[in-house]
A and B are shown apart, each in its own frame.
Chain A
Amino acid sequence: ETGVTQTPRHLVMGMTNKKSLKCEQHLGHNAMYWYKQSAKKPLELMFVYNFKEQTENNSVPSRFSPECPNSSHLFLHLHTLQPEDSALYLCASSQEAGGSYNEQFFGPGTRLTVL
């Protein structure tokens, strides 16, 4: 595998379900990100991890719970979601989070539908 991979690619869940999204980067990077992409809205940054430590949480509801066990893996645990949480969830990685120049590499995304 190369680049940034995400699983599953598609997920349909009910509002009472618990599920997790997985992201893995094979680039040797130290920073990882979760973004939410909704139709007709700018990309919304949700969480940032730098060297496994969470450095940013953009007022994300607690029904989204991130986990970063190491620099290569990032999870997004989901529970009690709402229909408006339906979106494409994108994972990205970069060499590190705080530098002046920081190109981000994106995974293909997980298309989440909440019924």
Chain B
Amino acid sequence: AQSVTQLDSQVPVFEEAPVELRCNYSSSVSVYLFWYVQYPNQGLQLLLKYLSGSTLVKGINGFEAEFNKSQTSFHLRKPSVHISDTAEYFCAVRGNTGGFKTIFGAGTRLFVKA
């Protein structure tokens, strides 16, 4: 079955510092990858998605992610974070193993400090 591992449960970082949130997935022939963000007391909002083509994907709020097929990774990055980026971030994968189900990772809590 498809699986997603978010390697860090919490990432504290100072404002204006760069950040990387790590995501690895189990291999599948075809795979679609997503990052969602969840602000306090809200639902999940799509940040960015990889479907095909360029491996570097740009999303909203200055985030980007790189699809690395050989390492089965899809890490999320931002060069300079703001206090308002404090939220929970979820990596998700949709692959053709098991009938194209979307599997979510456990989430990474990004905490931006002043």
Contacts and interface: CB of A to CB of B under 8 A. Distances in A.
Interface of A: 4, 6, 40-43, 45, 90, 92, 98-109, 111
B32 A100 contact: yes
Contacts of B45: 106
Interface of B: 9, 30, 32, 34, 36, 41-46, 49, 51, 90, 94, 96, 99-102, 104-107
A112 B36 CA distance: 22
Nearest to B101: A45
10 contacts: A45-B101, A100-B32, A100-B94, A100-B96, A101-B51, A103-B46, A106-B43, A106-B45, A108-B41, A111-B41
Nearest to B52: A101
B43 A107 contact: yes
Q: Interface majority SS on A: helix, strand, loop or mixed? A: loop
Q: Interface majority SS on B: helix, strand, loop or mixed? A: loop
Given A42-B105, A100-B32, A103-B34, A108 B43 contact: yes
A42 B93 CA distance: 13
B94 A102 contact: yes
B39 to A, nearest CB: 10
B42 A109 contact: yes
Contacts of B36: 106
